[in-house]
């Protein structure tokens, strides 16, 4: 192949939790490295089936539909060509045919995997599905004389699945065998189809064989048969389609149709770059073969299985390699999983500073040894509900990155926008070859952007979890920013109210109920102190009687007045004669504590807490009297803004009140 510039290739692929898409990814990665091409995997996955079938419960609030949108972000990817595994994306798309889907993306050369399209600029690679099922059916009927053969189909809208199901009907008709609706179950290509297989066997107690449209569903068939006391290969025959790594290691080994997913992925890359180089590439079908093992009723002879491509020793070696790799992946994932709580904690510590949050996220990517990582954020989160019409947002920007040991993050007004002209790939150009796994950042119905990590394909599961955690942390960051804005508004409102009260004036400097100073009296005393005692460490304390409303509602306002007077006495007993104490609201008290001792806050908190405990032990009331405190330290002087100090203490009080008990009713 002639020399060409380094192309940017995008791969749209879903269902990456299953075997065959992983094979495609492996083949694509190998070929891209050989041909020196950048690749960007726009990844989708589904978790609903896992929760419902593997964990035995329903998962009502699944947000897997969010992954239906990630492929649209490739339109602003700055890509030269696309490989689309429509067979995995189509499982989740609503009312969108492959032809219509192709029209959205065929502005650049496109290769469709596991799907046939006839649109301009598009090219198809698909395995010979019908021939594979024909081979399986002919073997079961001619070799094992089966007539009552059941079928577990793949997703109804998937072309592979439709062709395999059509071949099943074709072969049953060819051999004049009866078929009813109850002999066919609708699967989804995942391993979690136990319910469908159970129903199929309930409806067909005399079944002789089950043909599964892929291996992963066949594994569920093994599991169901074992629970029902059926011996696979003897009581009932089972076949699959794909010949994934686990197939030869099943007990008994699975008879299946062999299609090479890695080869198909490699072919897709070579065909696409062939097209990008200006040459023609023809759509084609990838041939399949039948691998006969024991699950169909055939028995080993002399260490070999008839018509099996690999001899028994090779199968054992292949299985051992698979088991070893699975163990290493599990160990690696378990070790890395300890990192996820640390990531969550580190990000949660930055909830008051978005810039620090982004830097911390990239520092964690450095610790995870990614080659480089880019974080793209929307200007504002997009709310996308399951039944909404989706429109890809146009305000995606580069918010932070880690590359070549450099970490940086940008404030909103400094972030570079992503557009068709300045796409995702173009923002990441640094002269090196990259393999990016691109994850959607979302939490529930809210999308925040994309995370692009240059990692190896086997690292996908761990970084998928990382992306979910970052999406969740972005939601917390959004909530934190909203709460901070509300607190600022509340502070302004409080200042406005207090200012109005000062303007209106207070007839007396004392509170009638408790005999303490009121706000006016307190403010005058505080100003006087700040002018006379310059440079002195001082503490301003906001105190709040916990649950005054609960006292009034349950025991009446006289009880509430008693509690307020009691708070006044408790606080008066905790301060010195020259400190200033006031009641400035319904349940709010202020103290000006003239103390030069550094870090006196905790000492004072304990003193008040002990005083409340002593009071409640002596009290015969059905409720407890407890006080929440917010304490602000400041240095007194003529320029001291007392209202600002009060606002600061009030913010601390707001945080302290989060930890008060839920009710002050005595146990």
CA pair distance 523, 514, nearest whole angstrom:
17
Query: Quick one: pLDDT band at residue 484, thresholds 50, 70, 90?
Result: confident
The residue to which tokens 């100073």 are assigned: 517
Tokens of 582: 């006031």
The domain segmentation of the chain, as residue ranges, is 339-483, 505-659
* Among 186, 182, 202, 244, residue whose Cα is nearest residue 219: 244
Q: How far is CA 98 from the centre of its chain?
A: 27
* Among 369, 375, 399, 403, residue whose Cα is nearest residue 470: 375
| φ, ψ (nearest 5 deg) of residue 394 | -115, 15
Quote the pTM value: 0.64
* Contact status, residue 525 vs residue 580, Cβ threshold 8 Å: yes
pLDDT at 411: 92
Query: Quick one: pLDDT band at residue 55, thresholds 50, 70, 90?
Result: very low
The residue to which tokens 């008709």 are assigned: 173
pLDDT at 194: 94
pLDDT at 296: 95
Q: Strands (DSSP E) along 507-651, which ranges?
A: 537-545, 580-583, 588-593, 627-635
Please determine, for residue 72, whether its predicted confidence score (pLDDT) is greater than 80: yes
SS3 388: coil
Is 505-659 in CATH node 3.40.50.620?
no
Reported as type and span, the H/E element at residue 289 is strand 289-291
Please determine, for residue 605, whether its predicted confidence score (pLDDT) is greater than 70: yes
pLDDT tens string 327-362: 555 555 555 667 788 888 899 999 989 999 999 999
pLDDT tens string 186-208: 998 888 899 999 999 999 999 99
pLDDT, the chain, mean: 86
pLDDT at 554: 92
Query: Quick one: pLDDT band at residue 510, thresholds 50, 70, 90?
Result: confident
pLDDT at 70: 87
Kindly report the CATH number that applies to the domain delimited by 339-483: 3.30.450.40
Mean pLDDT comparison of 87-101, 205-219, 377-391, highest-scoring range: 205-219
Determine the average pLDDT of the residues in 139-166. 93
Lowest pLDDT segment from 257-261, 394-398, 534-538: 534-538
Please determine, for residue 31, whether its predicted confidence score (pLDDT) is greater than 80: yes
Strand pairing report for 289-291 and 255-258: antiparallel
Q: How far is CA 39 from the centre of its chain?
A: 23
* Among 296, 308, 306, residue whose Cα is nearest residue 149: 296
Query: Quick one: pLDDT band at residue 301, thresholds 50, 70, 90?
Result: very low
Tokens of 51: 């929760």
Query: Quick one: pLDDT band at residue 2, thresholds 50, 70, 90?
Result: very low
Please determine, for residue 492, whether its predicted confidence score (pLDDT) is greater than 80: yes
Radius of gyration of the chain from Cα atoms?
Answer: 35
* Contact status, residue 664 vs residue 552, Cβ threshold 8 Å: no
User: For residue 482, with 0-12 CB atoms within 10 Å meaning exposed, 13-18 middle and 19 or more buried, which class applies?
Assistant: exposed
pLDDT at 1: 40
């Amino acid at each position: 192949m002639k020399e060409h510039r380094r192309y940017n290739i995008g791969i749209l692929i879903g269902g990456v939790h299953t075997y065959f898409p992983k094979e495609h990814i492996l083949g694509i990665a190998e070929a891209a490295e050989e041909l020196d091409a950048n690749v960007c995997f726009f990844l989708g996955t589904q978790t609903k089936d896992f929760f419902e079938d593997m964990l035995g419960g329903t998962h009502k609030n699944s947000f897997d539909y969010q992954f239906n949108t990630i492929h649209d972000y490739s339109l602003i990817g700055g890509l030269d060509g696309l490989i689309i595994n429509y067979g995995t994306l189509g499982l989740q798309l609503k009312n969108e045919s492959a032809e219509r889907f192709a029209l959205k993306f065929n502005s650049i050369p496109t290769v469709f995997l596991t799907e046939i399209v006839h649109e301009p600029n598009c090219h198809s690679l698909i395995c010979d599905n019908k021939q594979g099922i024909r081979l399986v059916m002919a073997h079961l009927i001619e070799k094992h004389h089966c007539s009552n053969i059941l079928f577990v189909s793949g997703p109804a809208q998937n072309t592979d699945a439709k062709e395999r199901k059509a071949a099943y009907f074709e072969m049953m008709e060819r051999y004049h065998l009866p078929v009813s609706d109850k002999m066919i179950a609708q699967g989804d290509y995942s391993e979690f189809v136990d319910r469908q297989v159970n129903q199929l066997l309930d409806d067909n107690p005399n079944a002789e064989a089950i043909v599964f449209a892929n291996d992963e569903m066949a594994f569920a068939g093994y599991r169901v048969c074992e629970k029902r006391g059926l011996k696979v290969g003897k009581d009932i025959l089972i076949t699959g389609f794909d010949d994934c790594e686990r197939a030869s290691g099943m007990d008994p080994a699975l008879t299946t149709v062999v299609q090479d997913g890695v080869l198909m992925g490699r072919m897709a890359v070579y065909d696409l770059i062939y097209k990008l180089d200006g040459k023609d590439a023809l759509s084609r079908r990838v041939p399949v073969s039948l691998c006969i093992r024991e699950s169909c009723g055939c028995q080993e002879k002399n260490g070999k299985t008839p018509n099996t491509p690999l001899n028994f020793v090779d199968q054992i070696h292949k299985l051992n390699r698979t088991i070893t790799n699975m163990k290493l992946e599990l160990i690696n994932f378990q070790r890395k999983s300890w990192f996820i709580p640390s990531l969550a904690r580190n990000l949660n510590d930055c909830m008051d500073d978005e810039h620090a949050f982004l830097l911390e996220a990239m520092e964690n990517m450095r610790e995870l040894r990614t080659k480089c990582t880019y974080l793209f954020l929307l200007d504002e989160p997009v709310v996308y509900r399951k039944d909404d019409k989706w429109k890809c947002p146009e305000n995606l920007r580069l918010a932070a990155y880690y590359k070549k040991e450099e970490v940086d993050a940008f404030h909103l007004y400094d972030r570079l926008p992503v557009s068709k002209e300045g796409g995702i790939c173009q923002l990441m150009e640094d002269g090196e070859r990259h393999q990016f796994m691109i994850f959607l950042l979302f939490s529930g119905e809210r999308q925040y952007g994309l995370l692009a990590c240059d990692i190896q394909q086997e690292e996908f599961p761990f970084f998928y979890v990382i992306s979910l955690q970052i999406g969740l942390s972005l939601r917390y960051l959004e909530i934190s920013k909203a709460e901070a804005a509300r607190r600022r508004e509340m502070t302004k409102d409080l200042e406005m109210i207090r200012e109005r009260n000062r303007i209106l004036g207070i007839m007396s400097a004392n509170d009638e109920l408790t005999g303490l100073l009121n706000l006016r009296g307190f403010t005058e005393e505080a100003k006087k102190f700040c002018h006379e005692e310059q440079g002195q460490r001082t503490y301003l304390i906001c105190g709040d009687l916990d649950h005054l409303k609960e006292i009034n509602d349950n025991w009446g306002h006289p009880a509430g007045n008693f509690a307020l007077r009691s708070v006044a006495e408790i606080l008066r007993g905790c301060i010195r004669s020259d400190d200033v104490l006031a009641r400035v609201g319904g349940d709010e008290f202020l103290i000006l504590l003239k103390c030069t001792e550094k870090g006196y806050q905790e000492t004072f908190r304990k003193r008040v807490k002990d005083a409340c405990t002593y009071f409640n032990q002596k009290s015969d009331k059905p409720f407890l009297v407890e006080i929440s405190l917010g304490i602000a330290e400041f240095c007194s002087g003529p320029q001291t803004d007392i209202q600002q100090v009060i606002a600061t203490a009030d913010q601390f009080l707001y945080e302290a009140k989060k930890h008060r008990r839920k009710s002050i009713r005595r146990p």
